[in-house]
């Protein structure tokens, strides 16, 4: 029989579409669709780099999601890190059903929704490892995994076409602080029963061996506490609650008072303490304003700012701009977090500022004060061996990490697993027929401005970069009702480098602006918008030709 006469595969379609997280660290978001049932696994965001001025959050574009499925049956959140929950407020308008998550995850999500004026009401549904819920034509099963934050789960999605397993973020920590290790037995049971596809975390695929337990940082931090003669400042992710608990325990052991600094740390620790994930003995914690009443050797601070964020507590402390916390030569600053790719320059800048204040620096490269929350290569191999999937899709990481995970999977499974190396927007069709990548949907990144829902468009971003590069020039020109220039125009500049060429040009610019208006046509003179655009265009051309600069020119024309 010829190939052309073979009937195409028919029947209901099972599609899985990554909207973010495949090709970058962050924005983790995976759509699973079967007929009228559409489940979103995670709704993550990503923090912007310095190349995106004024952008506060980066999330996946959601237009393709809206066009593809219309409305979502449910959202599942694997854990409470920002790269898995930060975009939920923007997904919320597309959601018809519940949001499933563990108690800690949902407690971290609630304030985000309220900041956007959204009322979660009874839409946030708590689950626990071992629970199963029904969402449309699918059954969702939650499996305990260990990570750097409590209350994490993987998800087994039981569809009519087969079982899909989404690992979430995980490592095989045999001695977790909360005593709740990854459920190896359940992953093995699913592997024996048959798994259609595994979607696996690739973050640490390039690290050989096994990731250490969270308890492995205790000796390194204990050494800092034992030798520090001044105050200790520990910079960590505000959601690294296991790490914060270790600092709490060491503060008790070494007789130091504990201070939390930074909005994220304050909010997350309050939630974690309320839910029993953080144990703070009575009398241990003091407020920032009370530091002055204690000797420096009796204080330990846990702060935000491990990634060099300019507005975080540590950045302000490092430049002596914090109201209550300063640095002295006997103090020690500990960076107890992994440097996210792209943040190294910002982190280095904060480290330099700390060093200028004479404080000692300790980080994970020089001392064992940090351990990853993601499994290394041998753990990722172990997950593949347990689950034995028919198909495997690497996720969570830049493309080279996905590609390496794909190569490792091919070796581990001996060719018995079909590896599908996908990117954001690829449609992974798992039924009917063999698994394959079947086209793409529109995807990309949406740049968000603060807690508002407004997106930073390409034009706005281009203008911000323009301002950052060449500054702004504001000619203020008074004109009469008949379009004649009155007096001498004023010119205000901000952010411009004044050298010989630009200085000479700025001296002649008032007269030049008046000449531009005099040369305007009659139609332009009677139309304020047209006159403003005429002045802007002509003065920008002058700057480009005479000074080789392209400042943003914003004329202000006042009719008198």
Which residues are part of the catalytic machinery? 201, 374
Question: 3-state DSSP: the chain helix, strand, coil percent, rounded to 5?
Answer: 35, 25, 40
Query: Rounded to an integer, what distance in angstroms lies between the CA atom of residue 84 and that of residue 538?
Result: 48
What element of type H or E holds 261?
Answer: strand 257-261
> What is the Cβ-side half-sphere exposure of residue 63, based on CA atoms within 13 angstroms?
7
The size of the chain, in residues, is 560
Closest CA relative to residue 469, chosen from 398, 548, 530: 548
CB-count burial class (<10 Å; 0-12, 13-18, 19+) for 521: exposed
If phi > 0 it is left, if psi is from -120 to 50 it is alpha, else beta; for residue 495 that is left
Residue linked to tokens 């237009």? 63
Ramachandran assignment for 35, one of left (phi > 0), alpha (psi -120 to 50 degrees), beta (any other): left
Asked whether the beta carbons of 203 and 397 are under 8 A apart, the reply is: yes
| Beta strand spans in 112-178 (E) | 124-126, 132-135, 138-145, 152-159, 162-166
Place of tokens 């320059």: 345
Q: What is the 3-state secondary structure (H, E, C) of 278-341?
A: CCCCCCCECCHHHHHHCCHHHEEEEECCCCCCCCCHHHHHHCCCCCCCCCCCCCEEEECCCCCC
Pair of tokens at residue 497: 């480098």
At residue 90's C-alpha, the angle toward residues 168 and 310, to 5°, is 80
């Amino acid at each position: 029989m010829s190939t052309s006469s073979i009937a195409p595969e028919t029947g209901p379609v099972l599609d899985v579409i990554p909207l973010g997280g495949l090709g970058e660290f962050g924005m983790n978001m995976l759509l699973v669709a079967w007929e009228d049932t559409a489940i979103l696994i995670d709704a993550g965001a990503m923090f912007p780099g310095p190349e995106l001025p004024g952008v506060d959050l980066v999330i996946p574009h959601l237009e393709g999601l809206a066009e593809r499925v219309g409305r979502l049956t449910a959202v599942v959140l694997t854990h409470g890190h920002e790269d898995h929950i930060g975009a939920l407020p923007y997904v919320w308008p597309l959601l018809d059903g519940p949001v499933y998550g563990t108690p800690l995850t949902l407690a971290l999500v609630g304030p985000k929704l309220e900041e956007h004026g959204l009322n979660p009401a009874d839409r946030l549904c708590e689950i626990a490892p071992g629970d199963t819920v029904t969402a449309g034509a699918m059954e969702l099963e939650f499996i305990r995994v260990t990570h750097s934050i409590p209350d994490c789960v993987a998800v087994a999605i039981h569809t009519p076409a087969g079982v899909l397993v989404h690992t979430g973020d995980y490592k095989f920590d045999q001695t977790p602080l909360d005593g709740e290790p990854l459920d190896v037995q359940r992953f093995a049971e699913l592997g024996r029963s048959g798994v259609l596809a595994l979607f696996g975390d690739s973050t640490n695929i390039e690290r050989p061996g096994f990731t250490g337990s969270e308890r492995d940082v205790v000796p390194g931090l204990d050494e800092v506490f034992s030798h520090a003669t001044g105050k200790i400042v520990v910079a960590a992710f505000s959601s690294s609650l296991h790490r914060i608990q270790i600092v709490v325990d060491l503060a008790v052991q070494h007789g130091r008072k504990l201070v939390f600094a930074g909005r994220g740390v304050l909010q997350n620790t309050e939630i974690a303490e309320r839910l029993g994930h953080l144990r703070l003995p009575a009398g241990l914690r003091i407020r920032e304003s009370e530091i002055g009443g204690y000797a420096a050797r009796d204080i330990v601070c846990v702060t935000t700012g491990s990634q060099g964020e300019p507005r975080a507590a540590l950045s302000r402390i490092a430049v002596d701009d914090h109201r209550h916390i300063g640095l002295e030569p006997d103090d020690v600053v500990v960076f107890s977090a992994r440097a996210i790719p792209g943040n190294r320059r910002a982190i280095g800048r904060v480290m330099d500022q700390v060093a200028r204040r004479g404080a000692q620096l300790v980080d994970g490269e020089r001392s064992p004060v940090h351990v990853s929350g993601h499994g290394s290569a041998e753990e990722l191999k172990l997950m593949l061996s347990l689950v034995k999937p028919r198909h495997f899709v690497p996720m969570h990481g830049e493309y080279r990490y996905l590609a390496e995970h794909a190569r490792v999977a091919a070796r581990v499974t001996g060719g018995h697993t079909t590896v599908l190396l996908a990117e954001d927007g690829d449609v992974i069709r798992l039924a009917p027929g063999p698994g394959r990548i079947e086209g793409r949907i529109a995807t990309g990144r949406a740049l968000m401005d603060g807690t508002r829902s407004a997106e930073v468009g390409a034009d706005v971003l281009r203008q911000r970069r323009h301002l950052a590069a060449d500054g702004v020039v504001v000619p203020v020109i008074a004109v009469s009702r008949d379009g004649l220039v009155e007096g001498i125009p004023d010119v205000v500049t901000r952010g411009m480098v004044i050298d010989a060429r630009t200085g000479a040009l700025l001296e002649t610019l008032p007269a030049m602006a008046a000449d531009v208006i005099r040369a305007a046509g009659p139609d332009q003179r009677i139309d304020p918008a047209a006159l403003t655009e005429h002045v802007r265009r002509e003065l920008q051309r002058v700057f480009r030709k005479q000074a080789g600069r392209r400042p943003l020119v914003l004329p202000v024309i006042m009719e008198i």
